[in-house]
Structure 1
Amino acid sequence: MLSGSPTQGMFSNSRIGNSESPNSGASSSFTQPIIDMSENDETELLSITWNQDYHCFAAGTNHGFRIYNCKPCRETFRRDLKVGGFKIVEMLFHCNILALVGAVANSHYPPNKVLIWDDYQSRSICEFTFRSEVRGVKLRHDRIAVVLEHKIYVYSFTDLKLLHQIETLANPRGLCCLSHHSNTFVLVCPGLNKGQVRVEHFGLNVTKLISAHDSQIACFTLTLDGLLLATASITGTLIRIFNTMDGTQLQEVRRGADRAEINSIAFSPNVQWLAASSDKGTVHVFSLRVRVSGEDSLTQPNVAQGPALFHQNSSTSLDPLISTNTGANPNSTFSFMRDMGSWDGKSAHGSETFLLRLLPKYFSSEWSFAQFRLPQSTRLIVAFGSENDVIIVGMNGSFYRCSFDIVHGGDMMQKEYVRFIT
């Protein structure tokens, strides 16, 4: 059983009423209960998703779903069905509330229906039915975001009223991110143009449109407070970090030179590192020059201050979000120039700026600080554990925990390996 719910008492009775969305409805009825099964049929993974603090992950399977702790990796809970499985399983931190979306073969839970399930009571709290397939669901303590191919619906978690409708470009990946700090409510989704990201600061009633890439967006992620955004395109070579308050690009890092599909991106809890996984079978960790002022940014009651939540002694609009340590990434292509000091006996002072203007962008990108190469190629999702722990979960049922040297970087060391589904 999952741990106690912060949403206990959120729904006072089973009569929830109708949603205001023209494409959805809400109901307390649910005719086919989730039933524990003892069958030994082969299990196929359909999806993997982290909970909001990366301490757990949920696996949607062709039989139901399973919940795993990450340290160490072990199964803590499962529900299996008589027929069909779940393609989307979204957790709400560590509580007993889950959002479930059925797989195509699941006749009782079709892929156009979102089920909000309270496993403590072993019953459905409500369900939303749409005219088209659900591509994603995101939860925070006060909101439910349902992602369709061309639209996102945002509902209140307390009374299930429809609060927002957002039009997007075709979004088959179900891309959407929510902030999870109580003082900020930020939603990020694709915009209406190729390569564009839309940022909604609902608490401030502010919308920012960021032209993040020239090609379509493949992946993005937010910090928990929603103030920093990392994006990647379908090209998969560059990852860019933005200030969500004003849309400013703060940093650009390079995964590689060849095209790749980036499956996931994750910020470390201290916002000093960024991890990315791709179909190349290598996980990269990048050193970030964007710095927040620690817990001050999370306890500041006035979110309208925006970038002022970061360092206060700034001389430009970029300074509050960029560390003064320009050598933060020792694997940056030009770090050797800072160490050499001279060419042919002449001072190299100022030469780096000159070369950055002349050489192709490829050579000025910041490369990864640490790497972990997997023995097999599979779709991977990545997250951070402690300061220098990286967790990697694969769609082939593999779980890796590895660590990197925060001073020297380089190849990461494997600390744990588990086959959580065989």
Structure 2
Amino acid sequence: MDASEQSHETIKFISFTQDAKIISTGHKDGITFYKTSDLLENQVIQSETMKDSGLHNSVLIQRLHSSALFFAVSEKDPRALNVYNVHNKNAITSLKFRKSILAVRAHKDRVVVCLEDSIHIYILNEMKLIHSIMDTPMNLRGVIDLTSNPEKAIIAYPGSPDTGSVHLFDAINYGSMNTFVAHEGALACLKFNQDGLMLSTASVKGTVIRVYSVPSGSRLFEFRRGVSRCVTISSFCFSADGKYLASSSNTETVHVFKLEKEEAKTQETGEVSWFDTIHKTLAAYLPTQVMQVSELVTTERSFATARLPGAAKSNQVALIIHNNHQHVMAATSEGFVYSYRLDPEGGELDLIKQNCIGPHAFQQTVPTIDDSMNFPPMNFRSM
């Protein structure tokens, strides 16, 4: 059995922290953390591993930014939330729930636990339950997000099991903020940007990605990932400056979208598009019809794409500033991490670094892309 097959069997979970500084991996032996800066610049990759028996085969991990605190759910007992300190290797507490935990989100003041039909909010420093949202619409995918902005704690979750309705809830004042329809189909992925003022959304169809203003729910951007096949969007990540949005799925392509309004492009280039002229001329006469056409025509494709060497069951993506350059990093459920530098001009991005992580990363030096023991063969398929 080669390294890729062993990694595929043993890696149960992989994700980036909210600040994209650490990758968390859950595997048969426990949990291992990697610094993304190490993966970008070092030949020898440092890692921290927790091998407590309660962490074996962890299927959910949520580390609070780059702090020592993290939360984990093991395949052995999916109803138990385990809280640990990674620095002193100590277990802090464990909470039991009536059903399987589908998602966990952490904030400097709050911890949010999502079950299929309820959401539970805890005070972080005490791990004390302070509010429960009961009888939520059935959410079998555990689609949920929590703002990381320390000044607010807003939860976004599906308002319907069948349509793409988004509900916003204030986890500080315990009240509903807004509900709006983001897609026709059921939601597959939600993600706030770092200041909590924007929310990206995708439905189970996965062809259209939208960005909404928070808490108003007004649509800011719409992007078309592709039309040739439906995909499962597995992660979003906004850049720290809010200028880019990256998405990953179960395909071999990572998309990067530029969050730039048409007015900003016009100001930069000095050009006015034919559509802008027609839109302004006809808006006074046919406002509803023109608005419908506007939404269709202004739907844009991705600004940049990064091609992974092969498709995986699930890919997680992050946008990282390193040495004053914006990078795109993709971590796969196969145990591989691929890094690309984001060209300001967009287009197809060049792979600049690759790493093998997980319990069967036999080498801690960076392997080459041609090493079949560490990487699958290049296999680019059309979107």
Q: Give the shorter-chain TM-score range.
A: 0.7 to 0.9
1:16 paired residue number: none
Match of 2:153 among 185, 189, 207: 185
CA deviations 1:211-240 (Å, max 9, x no partner) are 111101000100122111010001111111
The reply on whether 1:266 has 2:204 as its aligned counterpart is no
Any stretches of 5+ residues in structure 2 without a counterpart?
1-5, 40-44, 283-288, 361-383
Which residue pairs with 1:416 in the alignment? 353
Give the 5 Å matches for 1:295-334. 324-327=263-266
Matched, 1:200 2:150: no
In structure 2, the residue matched to 1:345 is none
Contact 1:385 1:391 (C-alpha < 8 Å) held by counterparts: yes
Q: From the superposition, tell whether residues 127 and 175 of structure 1 become closer, same or farther in structure 2 (CA, over 3 Å).
A: same
Pair 1:101 & 2:73 matched: yes
Aligned to 1:245: 215
Are 1:177 and 1:187, in contact at CA under 8 Å, matched by a contact in 2?
yes
Q: Which runs of 5 or more structure 1 residues have no equivalent in the other structure?
A: 1-40, 290-321, 342-347
Q: Distance in 1 between matches of 2:107 and 2:276?
A: 50
Distance 1:160 1:388, change over 3 A: closer
DSSP 3-state at the match of 2:217: coil
Instruction: Report the CA distance shift for 1:138/1:76 in structure 2 as closer, same or farther (over 3 A).
Output: same
Is the CA contact (8 Å cut-off) linking 1:75 and 1:420 kept in structure 2?
no
Please state whether the residue corresponding to 2:78 is helix, strand or coil: coil
Higher relative contact order (CA 8 A, sep 6+): 2
Q: Which has the higher helix share?
A: 2
Q: Is residue 57 of structure 1 aligned with residue 23 of structure 2?
A: yes
TM-score normalised by structure 2 residue count: 0.79
Rounded Cα–Cα distance in structure 2 between residues aligned with 1:328 and 1:376: 40
Aligned residue number for residue 91 of structure 2: 124
What does residue 134 of structure 1 align with?
A: 101
| 1:115 and 2:82 matched | yes
Asked whether the equivalents of residues 329 and 369 of structure 1 are also in contact (C-alpha less than 8 Å), the reply is no
Match of 1:33 in 2: none
SS at structure 1 position matched to 2:137: coil
Q: Which amino acid aligns with 1:388?
A: Q
- Which position in structure 1 is the counterpart of 2:198? 228
Letter in 2 for 1:172: L
Match of 1:385 among 296, 316, 320: 320
- Separation in structure 1 between the aligned mates of residue 309 and residue 346 of structure 2, nearest angstrom: 20
Distance 1:351 1:360 in 2: 10
**Kept in 2: contact 1:404–1:411 (CA 8 A):** no
Shift of 1:362: 5.4
Asked if 1 retains the 8 angstrom alpha-carbon contact of 2:111 and 2:124, the reply is: yes
Which residue number in structure 1 is paired with residue 301 of structure 2? 367
Post-superposition offset of 1:267: 0.6
Inter-partner Cα distance in structure 2 for 1:217 and 1:171: 9
How many angstroms apart in 2 are the aligned matches of 1:328 and 1:46?
47
Shift of 1:279: 2.0
TM-score scaled to structure 1, two decimals? Answer: 0.72
Shift of residue 244, structure 1, vs aligned partner? 1.2
Distance 2:226 2:216 in 1: 28
Q: Is the 8 A contact 1:288 1:329 kept in 2?
A: no
Name the stretch that deviates more: 160-169 or 124-133.
Answer: 160-169
Contact 2:148-2:196 at 8 Å conserved across structures: yes
Give deviations 1:216-273, integer Å, cap 9, x for gaps: 1000100122111010001111111111121111111111113211111111100011
CA contact (8 A) 1:356 1:364 kept: no
Deviations 1:34-78 (A, max 9, x none): xxxxxxx87611111211200101001122111011123234201
The whole-number CA distance in structure 1 between the counterparts of 2:116 and 2:30 is 24
Cα distance change of structure 1 residues 357 and 400 upon mapping to structure 2, 3 Å threshold = same
CA distance 1:141–1:363, shift in 2 (3 Å): same
Deviation, structure 1 residue 203: 4.4
Q: Quick one: distance in 2 between partners of 1:188 and 1:328?
A: 34
1:218–1:234 Cα contact (<8 Å) kept: yes
Counterpart secondary structure, 2:12? strand
In the alignment of these two chains, the number of paired residues is 332
Q: Considering only CA atoms, is the larger Rg found in Structure 1 or Structure 2?
A: 1
CA offsets per residue over residues 323-346 of structure 1, 9 Å max, x none?
73145999xxxx9983xx7xxxxx
> SS at the partner of 2:143?
coil
Task: Please give the secondary structure, in 2, of the residue aligned with 1:111.
Answer: strand
Q: 1:217 and 2:187 equivalent?
A: yes
Q: Distance in 1 between matches of 2:291 and 2:120?
A: 44
Higher mean alpha-carbon deviation, 412-421 vs 71-80, is at 71-80
Q: CA deviation at 1:410?
A: 0.6
Name the SS for the 2:242 alignment partner.
coil
Question: Which amino acid is 1:51 matched to?
Answer: T
Which residue of 48, 72, 87 corresponds with 1:77? 48
Equivalent residue number for residue 309 of structure 1 = none
Cα RMSD after superposing both structures: 2.7
2:377 is matched with: none
